[in-house]
Every structure is written in structure tokens, then in C-alpha cells.
A and B are shown apart, each in its own frame.
Chain A
């Protein structure tokens, strides 16, 4: 899980071109959107692309996406729940 979260942070920074952010700057539970990292709805679509390209998980409904993409923690939990143990 820790490893997955680390990897996710690196991937998020790369996908969204968060130039001045380092992985350790992102708190596991911090909100990715709004006041947290300051991401917006286009970023949320890009993060869904990340999930699809890197983890082969397709999120169809943007409303469902919003829940999954709350934080690095919620993303990691979602990925793990979709992968065979």
C-alpha cells in the first residue's frame, strides 16, 4: 500500500505537470481538489486517464470518479480493491 501510494504521487506529479511539487509534499489524506493541491475538473479527467493507462481501471461515471479521486489514499484503496490480491 505504501509503495503504491508513493508510486501514485510520482505519477500524479508527472501526469499533471505539477512542477514545483515533490512526492513528499503530498499528504496521503490531503484533498487533491479545491483547497488541497488546487486541482480542477480537467485534472480529475486526467487522473482517470492515469488510472486507465497505468492500472487498466476504467472509471465510466465522472460522479463516481470524484469519490475515488478525493485523495492519494482513496485512489490507492480503489486501485487495490480492483486488483487481484
Chain B
């Protein structure tokens, strides 16, 4: 029989905190990370709010212990900082003491740095240090730099399915463990703000000029964010062998596709419904077992209708407490699934539900509303974490309390 998959380490950096503890503190204090960018060179500097990590790239280089090293993009550094925390948290001082895989997620790789030098790179007349950044054009660069720094010797790859990328990384990692190919794998994603993605979402008229308000009647789009998050997944046998602490289990997951439109979900939320239902059933749960759904909740017009319809279809009159944490972190694209999986683990380990900030009025299409208060001492045993994206890519994870 396939082994169960346990979560044994967490590491993250977002606009609301440099590590997991700092994130939890901000969530509890209801402090949003949204504001105006200090790092991006864009005409929307003081127009479009973003959730930016509050450090310069040089500061991140020092935080990652890489001062003086060349070619480390902001994407890589965010990832490296989160990775170092995750391994430390799991009590792994040497990843080579057990063959360890690394499944990363990225949407635009090192674009944050390459977009500033791209025209020099492409110009035969110009030469200089920017040539160091040629290799950072793709998504594999950040993964390999993190892998090389840490010393991973197991399976290594990068997934890119837009906003569901790191949820898919977690799913793939869990499946590698279940298939017996590896006993430990670190999964998640990293994303830095770029002019490219900011203008991309803006061209889709998908960005709200105000702080985003998921599941609100008056919502008008998302805010982008940046960050990185990794979770250490281990097989039951390895956890027992090394007597590791189990933070939560990953018993269910699903990946479905809308097959509806390049950038929009079906209005009835068919893909979201199927993803949640399949993940739940895989983990042996029925709707009544779920206490909390960390929704994708981007606050775009179409996502929240589709996702809300899917929740109503799946849970009927008894929709569990749900909230979008994107008003805290912004939409961190490839990192979102990882960040929200960690928040789901925190919901279980601290018996807490995070508020959906900026919500005022119920959407006319739905009868449900998100949780707007911080709820402490809530008995959270099973959480669904949703990540939906472009190309119709949907992913849901079922994260559960370990009860033997």
C-alpha cells in the first residue's frame, strides 16, 4: 500500500512576514501587506497596490547568506530564504542524509531582473555584467540555484501552471512519495513582482486600484503580491525512522481543468467543484468533515463567482467557514498555493481561522459570505486549499490534522 504523506517543515516569506512566525503574527493582527511598490520601476508605482516583500534585493541577498554572489535573482532569493527555514523547521540539517527531491513552481522565472536588462541582452552593441542574467530568463534557473545552494540530490523539477503552480508542485511531490520513488521532497513555489506580470494582469483589466476585496459585491480585481513558500513532505516510514514532528497530513489532492476559456473559469465553477470534491473524497472526507476552506478568492469578477458557486454546490446549505488570505499577501501566483497550504497547516496547528479582509457586501450571485473575523480556538481538523489559474488549471489540496 502506498505510504501516507506528512508535512514536517514550513518556510515562507511574504509581504506580511519574513518567516512563518511573522506571517502568523500579521494574520492574527489583521495587518495587510498591501501598499505601493518600492522595488518595481513602473508607471503604476503609485496607482496599483501590490503586496511586496519589504526588503531590497541586496537585503535579501544578505538574508539568504549569499552576499557577494552573482546572478541571484529576487525570485531565487525569496525562494532560498523560504527553503532555508523549511528545512530547519523540519530538523533537516543535511538534505543528503536521505535522497531528497525538490519540486519548485514559477510563472516567470527571473523576469523580475531580466526585464530590466533584456534589451541590453538582446543588443549586439552592448556588453557588460548583465550577461550574467541570460540564464535567469527561464523558470529552471531559480530552482537550480536553490538546489545547488542546498545540495538536493533527488528528483528536481519546476512546474508552471499559472496560479495553481505550487499546489501542483505539492501534489506531484506527494505522488512521487506514494509511488515509492523518494521518501522526502520539498515542494512549493517562488514569485517576485515584475513589470511583466503587473502589466499583464492590468491588460486583462483584472487589477483593482484599491486593496482587493474577495467575495464582495463591489470587488473589482486582484492585487499582485510576491513571496515564496516551501513545505517539507515526508513518507510515513521516514518520519517514524527519524522521529520527526508531523505538522499535518496531505491526504487528498486533485487537479482538474475547466476546458472553458483561456483566462476565465466556467460560471458554474465546474472545475473548482470537481477539484474540491475529488481532493476531499481522496482523503476519505465528506463535506461535513471540512471546517475551513482557504479559497483562491482573487477578487476578480469571474473567479469569485465560479468559486462561490462551486462551494455552494459542494456544501449546500452548510458551507464551512471560508476566507481568502489574498488581501494579506496579494496574489502571489506561483507561490500562492504554497503560501496558502502553509496557512492551512497553521489553521490546523493553531486552531484558528483567518479573516477575509475588506469584505462588506454579499455578492448578488451567491448566498454565502466569507469569514470576516479572526476566529481563535476553532476546531479545525480538515482544510481545503484552492488554487485556480489561467489555462483552466485548477488544484485543490486537502490538509488534515494528524490523528494517528
Which residues on A are within 8 Å of B, measured CB to CB? Answer: 40-42, 45, 48-49, 60, 62
Residue B204 at the chain A interface, CB threshold 8 Å: yes
Residue B203 at the chain A interface, CB threshold 8 Å: yes
Chain B contact-residue range equals under 10
CB-based A-B contact count at 8 angstroms:
14
Do B203 and A42 touch across chains, with their CB atoms under 8 A apart? no
Do A45 and B205 touch across chains, with their CB atoms under 8 A apart? yes
Do B203 and A41 touch across chains, with their CB atoms under 8 A apart? no
- Give every chain A residue within 8 A of B261 (Cβ-Cβ): 40-41
- Give every chain A residue within 8 A of B264 (Cβ-Cβ): 41
Distance in Å: Cβ of B220 to nearest Cβ of chain A: 8
Which residues on B are within 8 Å of A, measured CB to CB? Answer: 203-205, 261-264, 301
- Give every chain B residue within 8 A of A45 (Cβ-Cβ): 203-205
Interface of B is mostly: loop
- Give every chain B residue within 8 A of A40 (Cβ-Cβ): 261
- Give every chain A residue within 8 A of B262 (Cβ-Cβ): 42
By beta carbon, the residue of chain B nearest A65 is B205
Q: Given contacts A48-B205, A60-B205, could you give 9 more A-B pairs where the C-beta distance is less than 8 Å?
A: A41-B261, A41-B263, A41-B264, A42-B262, A45-B203, A45-B204, A45-B205, A49-B203, A62-B301
Distance in Å: Cβ of A41 to nearest Cβ of chain B: 7
Do A42 and B205 touch across chains, with their CB atoms under 8 A apart? no
> Can you report 6 residue pairs joining A to B where beta carbons are below 8 Å apart?
A40-B261, A41-B261, A41-B263, A42-B263, A45-B203, A45-B205
Distance in Å: Cβ of B85 to nearest Cβ of chain A: 40
- Give every chain B residue within 8 A of A48 (Cβ-Cβ): 205
By beta carbon, the residue of chain B nearest A49 is B203
Distance in Å: Cβ of A66 to nearest Cβ of chain B: 11
Distance in Å: Cβ of A48 to nearest Cβ of chain B: 8
By beta carbon, the residue of chain A nearest B204 is A45
A56 CA / B204 CA spacing, docked (Å): 18
Q: Which 10 A-B pairs have the closest CB atoms?
A: A62-B205, A45-B204, A45-B205, A41-B264, A42-B262, A45-B203, A42-B263, A41-B261, A40-B261, A49-B203
